[in-house]
Amino acid sequence: ASDMVWEFYSTADQIDVNPGAVNQMIFVAHNPTDKPMSAQAIPSITPAEAAAYFHKTECFCFTQQVLQPGERIEMPVRFIVDRDLPKDVKHLTLAYTLFDITARHPPVAHLTGQDLQGAR
């Protein structure tokens, strides 16, 4: 989203998909700020008629993501494309919009051992 400051990208521009098999893409997120942030990813598939044949089995979009200041993570997406995908569909595009939800769902900063001793 336009107000999201995280770096967010896939590690590959495209992959060859095997219909009926489990396929995987890796996405990377980096919080360049000095504060913990929460985010939610919303997926989209094009062409729209192909969405019914695309099934995510694991996705970072299923949950909110929390990144600490400077943290970078790799997030896998595992999916299956139905063998019944119409023959005229030769390319699918999986896209995500990443929204900053920090104001609505404030993250908790990681505490160090020293922080915990001071909290006692």
pLDDT tens figures, 58-88: 999 999 999 999 999 999 999 999 999 999 9
pLDDT tens figures, 9-59: 999 999 999 899 999 999 999 999 999 999 999 999 999 999 999 999 999
Superfamily the domain 7-118 falls into: Ctag/Cox11 (2.60.370.10)
Q: How far apart are CA 97 and CA 78, in angstroms?
A: 18
Sorted by where each begins, the domain ranges of the chain are 7-118
Task: Provide the β-strand partners of residue 28.
Answer: 9, 74
> pTM for the complete prediction?
0.82
* Residue of 78, 98, 92 lying closest to 22 (CA atoms): 78
